[in-house]
Structure 1
Amino acid sequence: MIKKVIPLLLVLNFASLFSQSKENKLKLNDTWFTVETDKNQKPVIVRGRQHLKNLIESKQYTDYVEFIWTFEALTENGIPTPEENIFMQKVEDALIENLEIDLQSVLTIVYTHDGVRTSVFYTKSVPEFLKRINKALSQFKKLPIEIMNEKDVDWDLYRGILKNYKLVPK
């Protein structure tokens, strides 16, 4: 009986080590780039993470979710007021805290222009993403947001946005 248990434990330990090494590959480089340009004489501000190639190659993030926020206060230049921007940052921080803690979802790009801020998350599971954002947003009043999602196994949206600014995933 003992002889059967010991080999089984060794196999389980080996499998455990293998799964840990696979998990260790999925690390998030939290380096951000910022691009500022204009479109229709209004500023465009793009923030993003360029160092996500390891997440792309993992093939675990098969969908993206766009978190679209229409500004409450209209400004002439189409960017949020300083007060609204501070509040939006608090919301973004809450989302990141709930979604990225175990890399279930990752914020990749934030695009601000003409009264709208769009945050693009890639996720392993849309239902889990929605569950977590409901938890994250429960501390805030009703927000002027829309949420859309699409299947994107090859990260075409992300790659296309980077390409627009002469960037590539690293």
Structure 2
Amino acid sequence: MKYSLPILLILNFSSLFSQSKENTLALNDTWFGGESESNGKPVIIRGRDHLKNFIDSKEYNEYIELVWKMERETESGIPTPDENFFMGKVEDALINDLETDLQSVLAIVHTNDNIRSWIFYTKSVPEFLIRINKTLSAFEKLPIEITNDEDVNWELYTGILKGYHLEPK
């Protein structure tokens, strides 16, 4: 009987340690939307404000920005309905291939002045590039430029949220 208590404590501790990080990194798919104006043209932004658990995980230390220069420029700087629909199909494919196992997470989508950009935070830039090449190969050549930078503290993301009076949740 003397030994049953320590064994129970060990079992309890081991059950705490056996929880996977995936449990703490559940993706809340709630999005915010905002509009403003820059140089007389609308700025449309949407993003996830429930990514604090990803920030705190310290696993997503870089962001990758995909920038799509619209083929048909409009006076308002917003895509035509057809181009917007096509961009949505591409975005859905990217989310499907990059977020399935939470290798990368789409944080912000920004549209202004005939450009749409997607900001993903990722665990691994090389893995992201492998996946995005596979995903985009299903489409004809797209007008997308890709850049990345280190952002351990998610300063780009939190700065954008602050611009809309939001804090990561």
Partner of residue 67, structure 1? 66
- Counterpart CA distance in 2 for 1:108 and 1:128 is 18
Please give the alpha-carbon distance, in whole angstroms, between the structure 2 residues aligned to 1:158 and 1:40: 23
Give the 5 Å matches for 1:56-95. 56-95=55-94
What is the aligned partner in structure 2 of residue 105 from structure 1?
104
- Partner amino acid, structure 1, of 2:17: F
Distance 1:69 1:30 in 2: 23
Query: Is the partner of 1:60 in helix, strand or coil?
Result: coil
Superposition deviation, residue 19 in structure 1: 4.6
Distance in 1 (CA, whole Å) between partners of 2:166 and 2:157 is 11
> Where does residue 142 of structure 2 map in the other structure?
143
How far off its partner does 1:154 sit?
A: 0.4
Aligned to 2:123: 124
SS at match of 1:119: strand
The Cα RMSD (Å) is: 1.6
AA matched with 1:61: Y
TM-score of the two chains, using structure 1 as the length reference: 0.89
Q: Which runs of 5+ in 2 are unaligned?
A: 1-10
Taking the aligned partners of 2:96 and 2:19, their CA distance within structure 1 comes to 22
TM normalised by structure 2 equals 0.90
Separation in 2 of the partners of 1:109 and 1:135?
22
The count of corresponding residues between Structure 1 and Structure 2 is: 158
Opposite residue 116 of structure 2, the aligned amino acid is R
Question: Is the alpha carbon distance of 1:130 and 1:57 closer, same or farther for their aligned partners in structure 2, counting shifts above 3 Å?
Answer: same
Residue aligning to 1:5: none
Q: Secondary structure at the match of 2:138?
A: coil
Q: What is the Cα deviation at residue 21 of structure 1?
A: 3.4
Deviation of 1:37 after TM superposition, in Å, equals 1.2
Distance 2:22 2:68 in 1: 33
Aligned to 2:36: 37
